[in-house]
Structure 1
Amino acid sequence: MDSSRLPVPPGVDDRWQVSDRLGHQLIRVMRAMERAKAGKGVGPDGVERAAYVLLARLVLEGPRRSNALAESVHSDPSTVSRQVAGLVRAGLVERRPDPEDGRATLLAPTSEGLRVFEANRDRRNNQISEMTAHWAESDRHRLIELLERFAGDIEQRLAPSPTPPSAALRGQEAS
């Protein structure tokens, strides 16, 4: 359905209509991505696709503790722990002693993890390049700028708000 022809409730302004069209297009993109990944829960290396997000974060941002990794991908620590265990078993991530705290460990990509990350990134970039080959270079750059801006706004809006100091203290007192 052409989103410009969707019924419009009475009394809405142009900004609402533009947001409605944008929302419709975002849904189309998300559904297309879901269809493309359907049935592909495990990558060619036998690792869950969701775990690749963790591998990518470790490659791009460096070693970190499991809890910090979970926080950086806005995921539950137990889910991240399970996915990290799969990455470790696959030889893509290793646990290293934390130089700042000998009792803790840092997660870091292995050389095989770097190879797998690069192979996945190359595959993704080739697909995007093929899909946008007929676009003007300026349109591709403009899309990047707009998506970076939109992603930043989403992250800022949807990021969990920090716990107020008084609530954090009450939580400590209860332990």
Structure 2
Amino acid sequence: MSGKSPERDKPWLFRTYAGHSTAKASNELYRKNLGKGQTGLSVAFDLPTQTGYDSDHPLARGEVGKVGVPISHLGDMRSLFEGIPLGEMNTSMTINATAAWLLALYIALADEQGVDRSKLTGTVQNDILKEYLSRGTYVFPPAPSLRLIKDTIVYTGRELPKWNPTNVCSYHLQEAGATPVQELA
């Protein structure tokens, strides 16, 4: 045995959690970072996108593009990833309540780019219970949320074998008062 392991010796992904103002401005930032050697993308979405509001909805007023990129439709997703070949990119989307919908937009864009879905690599956080228990940015109550989590996991397991369908983030639970034991549970 040579002592080399393809998995162990694979280079780490380098990505910056980023997204702001508009999809076009965020795309410019992503392309600049990739040009400087960043090897993946980590998309930060704005609060209206996180909670399922279109950017032009009255409840989104004052929040659009503030803490991340606003995505309301496939056109926004096209602008966000213009010039970025999704088949060659590992993309992390830190999104929960609207994870299934945003993953569907990402897949639709990959289809437009002619990418074989089985080649897509990345992660969608899809930790909807965290939103319910700690942040308050949930869209659906717990039972339907659990169903969305499960459906996303089943779908990605079948259609996107290189995709991580969930990324549990217990930090917010701790901030909401959970003990370390409760975080693990």
What range describes the TM-score normalised by the shorter chain of this pair? under 0.3
Query: Structure 1 length normalisation: TM-score?
Result: 0.25
Q: Which of these two proteins has the greater Rg computed from alpha carbons?
A: 1
- Which structure has more RCO (C-alpha within 8 Å, separation ≥ 6)? 2
Greater helix share, structure number = 1
